[in-house]
Amino acid sequence: LDGTLTFTNAAPLEAGGLTAEDVWGRPFWECYWWSFDDQSIAYCRDSVMRAARGETVRADVVVRMANEERVTIDYQASPLRGDDGAITAIIHSGVLIEDRV
């Protein structure tokens, strides 16, 4: 809930030219995909904090991929709730805009 990245599937790692060791244990907004400018960092940090309070955040955002390529994704940060309704984690997802149906 504090934004620390604890898991990432293979697709964003591959797209960023990263390994799990490059990102796991770091604040999500400090990871390669987001850390290319202050506005992107601030947006990601704000999304994490809003999701930690129970809000689902969704927007089209620019992220950095391998070789400094920038792409626009349909990004979403969603709270994950346990059986008791308490928020236990934040799930982040992104779909390339060109792949969106």
Annotate 41-99 with three-state secondary structure: HHHHHHHHHHHHCCCCEEEEEEEECHHHCEEEEEEEEEEEECCCCCEEEEEEEEEEHHH
Bridge partners, 77 (sequence order): 57, 92
* pLDDT < 70: residue spans in the chain: 99-101
CA–CA separation, 83 and 18 (whole Å): 34
pLDDT at 100: 65
